[in-house]
Amino acid sequence: MTPAAPDSPSLHAADTASSQRVSGSQQAPHVQPSPPPRSHRSQTGFNLRRLVLLNALGVALLACWWIPALDFWPTLDSDVFWDFNQFITPLNPHWDTLLGILNTRAFDAVAFAMMGVLFCWAMLNDQQPARYRRWTSIGITMLLTAGLLSLFVLRAISYGHASPTRFFNHAQHLSELVSFKTKDSASNSFPGDHGLMLMVFASFMLAFAPRRIALCSLAFVVLLSAPRIMVGAHWFSDVYLGSLSIALIALPWVLCTPLATTVARGMENALARLKQRS
């Protein structure tokens, strides 16, 4: 009886490789873990294209206002004012009261609180560690930007004009129809400082907050600046030409460059060191 031939080493190697392929095919495939979702957007680089585009839009707005042959803005200003002023009469006491409330200092505080709610919403949506310190730094940077821009407008812009309620002799003044103090006129209403501060806030939300919060902040610009226009404390162009052109020219140099991010990061680091010392 002939003994069985021993298995060759090559057959053992083939069987081992085959078993490894089978066991490997039964294992779950390796899945690369996805990064955590980002709940915020930030401007960290120098976006030259966006900066030039926004600056060009701001200059174009000013140019179409300065050219004497174009009477678009004066006509629009007059039409918008009279369209709203005709409804400010003793025959509409409830409407007069509502407009009066929307133009008080108390409602300005409510509007500021509403922006604070949006800011806190953006902070709570941020999934990064130390989000409170980060958004505190962004908030301080935003306030510094608003303060410096307001100071620039006050010191550097010499042009000004009276509000429509002081320009037109037969304009109806809301303050004469309500029993509380409300703003319906200004000796110099250009540019709209109220609207400009709203635009600063919206710009920072566009740069750092989630998209839906940024869109809410843009809606705030329209809704919260409208009462001043509706009562004649500002011309339409005070906000959507004056404030908007300043915002389009100045804010991109803060938010389309590393400036805002660098300042905010420096403040964040300073707050971290302060916390370690305490």
Q: Is residue 21 part of a domain?
A: no
Q: Is residue 166 part of a domain?
A: yes
Q: How many separate domains does the chain show? A: 1
Q: Is residue 198 part of a domain?
A: yes
- 142 within 8 A of 200, measured Cβ to Cβ: yes
pLDDT tens-digit map of 152-168: 999 999 899 999 999 99
pLDDT tens-digit map of 76-96: 999 999 999 999 999 999 999
pLDDT tens-digit map of 97-116: 999 999 999 999 999 999 99
Q: Is residue 15 part of a domain?
A: no
Q: Is residue 24 part of a domain?
A: no
Q: Is residue 33 part of a domain?
A: no
The model's pTM: 0.82
Q: Scanning the structure block, which residue is given the tokens 């610009």? A: 221
Q: Is residue 1 part of a domain?
A: no
pLDDT tens-digit map of 196-224: 999 999 999 999 999 999 999 999 999 99
pLDDT at 5 over 70: no
Q: Is residue 113 part of a domain?
A: yes
Query: CA distances (Å), 261 to each of 139, 142, 200, 257, in order?
Result: 12, 11, 15, 8
- Kindly state the average pLDDT of the residues 8-17: 45
Q: Could you tell me the residue range of the domain that residue 176 belongs to?
A: 48-277
Q: How confident is the model at residue 20 (pLDDT cuts 50, 70, 90)?
A: very low
